Amino acid sequence: MSSTVLTTCLEARNNEVAEYQLNIDNFKRAIEKIDTQYAENQDMLDFKEQLIKLLADNQREQLKSIIMRDVIADQLAELEES
């Protein structure tokens, strides 16, 4: 595989990891906000449960993206060494 293709794939994975991180940070902040400002609102508590699931899903998917990003980076390094 060419270094150009791998570089493009690496950039895409880096963006993907960053997008997951943005979601993770936002979910955490929303969960905290519900805990402090909407603790008596059952609809918001239900929403919080959805956010907790989304947080776990995004953390898992981000880890998958990190693993794939690292594999691509390894391939790129191996190609550059040869």
One-letter identity of residue 38: Y
pLDDT at 37 over 80: yes
According to the model, what pLDDT value does residue 51 have? 98
Above pLDDT 70, what percent of the chain?
A: 100
Residue for token pair 């390094």: 77
According to the model, what pLDDT value does residue 18 have? 98
What residue spans define the domains of the chain? Answer: 3-81
Q: What is the mean pLDDT of residues 43-59?
A: 98
According to the model, what pLDDT value does residue 50 have? 98
In angstroms, the Cα distances linking 72 to 15, 30, 60 are 14, 33, 19
Q: Which two tokens stand for residue 35?
A: 């805990």
